[in-house]
Amino acid sequence: MKFRLAAAATVAVMVGALVTGCSGSGGGDDKTFQFWSFTGINQKADVEKYKEAHPDITVKLTEVGSTQETAQALTAALAGGKVPDLVLIQGDDMPNFVANPDNFVDLSTMGADDISGDYLPWVWDQAVAQNDAVIGVPTDVGGMSMAYRADLFEAAGLPSEPDAVAALWPTWDDFISVGQQYVAATGKPFLDNAGTSVFFQTVNQVDEKYYTPEGELVYDTNPQVKEAFDISIKAIEAGITANVPAFSTGWSTGKTNGAFAAMAAPSWMLKSIKTDAPDTSGQWRVTTVPKVAGNWGGSYLAIPKRAANPEAAWAYIKEMQSPESQLKNFTDTGALPSTVSAYESTAIADYTDPFFGDSKIGAVLGKSLQEFKPFFNGPETATIGSAMINTVTDVEAGNTPPDKAWDVAMKAVKDALGG
């Protein structure tokens, strides 16, 4: 998930190419279907598994770009271009599409009602429109953890075992205090950044976020949002962050070179640590985030209304997002299942990975989801969140004074929403 907006010219070129140049269907052939995904999560692996099991099926996979670019390309296609038969939509972008259910096949007409009970209710419900149409089937969720370098904690004189570390930071204020202790002992930054590792976590631990349950915008008056924002600014002012934005080049190398000692890590991000920093195997540990609860990420598979091969797309969804397939995908890729049965088994609760030492990874991720309180996400949730995180990043970079940050963020949101 990338929060910085893509350059307008780049997006325009990309969208135009997809809408006019890609076949939006398999031409009516129920053995072929077009699949749009965003980058960074290796949907190609799932497609290859499906093709191995069904050699007579042709899946034309297009990795469009970032989550936001994919959503923009889909929006343009739905407005009159050629649509894919199947599309992966990131969770924060889903409310925009749920608000316009007529653009999609109501999956309940294809059998979604028969499988709805397999999925976590709060995840399933986010893809159900006001007219009860089912727009998408959830592929995963993003249970939260805090990943940290045990070797760097030990060098700073801090506890390094997961349970002991979790006991250091029951609250975010405690977390900031631990960061200050680390900086004082080492002279080095403690945390990768305040945007994704503090603000995006604290704002997802609220009872009510940018909207009321009735859909009224309250991002600018909700004290819980303001408190979450203030905690991120407090972390910056405490001098504990490395000002290394998530998904940047420096962020990838920082996992190896000790540019920071801790980072918020949803389940799917743990694999990126292994990929970016293979030589640090055994040095990382995983524990709970302050206040424990959290979710970052999760996606849905949807079928646009004008898809030529909806049956082929639905067959793929049913097979590749079944409880059995999601559980196997977790052990293969770290994508945390959105299915109920996964959390009733020991497969997740007992899950560990030698790369992260003796950390009880599955138990940590599962607990974060159990503590998580779902809230209403409206059509502009992703836009509001991006504007606020961008402001936090600007404060961290020294471009915005901390005492002006909230006002700047509110203006940025209003501008992003069109005034």
Query: 231 with 242, same domain?
Result: yes
How many domains does the chain divide into?
2
The answer on 290 and 248 residing in a single domain is: yes
Does 385 share its domain with 260? yes
Q: Residue 8: its pLDDT value, please?
A: 35
* 282 and 381 together in one domain: yes
Partnered with residue 60 across adjacent β-strands are: 34
* Final residue in a domain of this structure, among 329, 344, 359: 344
164 and 123 together in one domain: no
Same domain, 283 and 412: yes
pTM tops 0.85, yes or no: yes
3-state SS string for 52-114: HHCCCCEEEEEECCCHHHHHHHHHHHHCCCCCCCEEEEEHHHHHHHHCCHHHECCHHHHCHHH
Residues 180 and 306 in one domain: no
* H or E element, residue 36: strand 32-37
- Residue 84 near residue 35 (C-beta atoms within 8 A): yes
Q: Return the pLDDT at 277.
A: 96
Averages of pLDDT over runs of 10 residues in the chain (419 residues) are 36 47 52 92 91 96 93 95 95 93 97 96 95 97 96 98 98 98 98 98 97 96 98 98 94 96 94 94 98 94 97 97 93 87 90 95 94 92 95 97 98 94
Sort 28 into a burial class: Cβ within 10 Å, 0-12 / 13-18 / 19+: exposed
| pLDDT at 156 (0 to 100) | 98
For residue 183, give every residue at least 6 positions away whose Cβ sits within 8 Å of its Cβ, in sequence order, or none: 189, 190, 239, 240
| 244 in Cβ contact with 261 (< 8 Å) | no
Neighbours of 34 (CB within 10 A): 27
List Cβ neighbours of 337 (8 Å cut-off, separation of 6 or more). 140, 141, 323, 326, 327, 329, 330, 343, 348
Domain shared by 324 and 382, yes or no: no
Domain that residue 91 falls in: 8-141+297-344
Residue 306 sits in the same domain as residue 224: no
What's residue 18's pLDDT?
55
Contact by Cβ (8 Å): 90, 115: no
Same domain, 185 and 87: no
- CATH no. for residue 27? 3.40.190.10
Tell whether 257 and 189 lie within a shared domain.
yes
Query: What is the pLDDT, as a whole number, of residue 294?
Result: 95
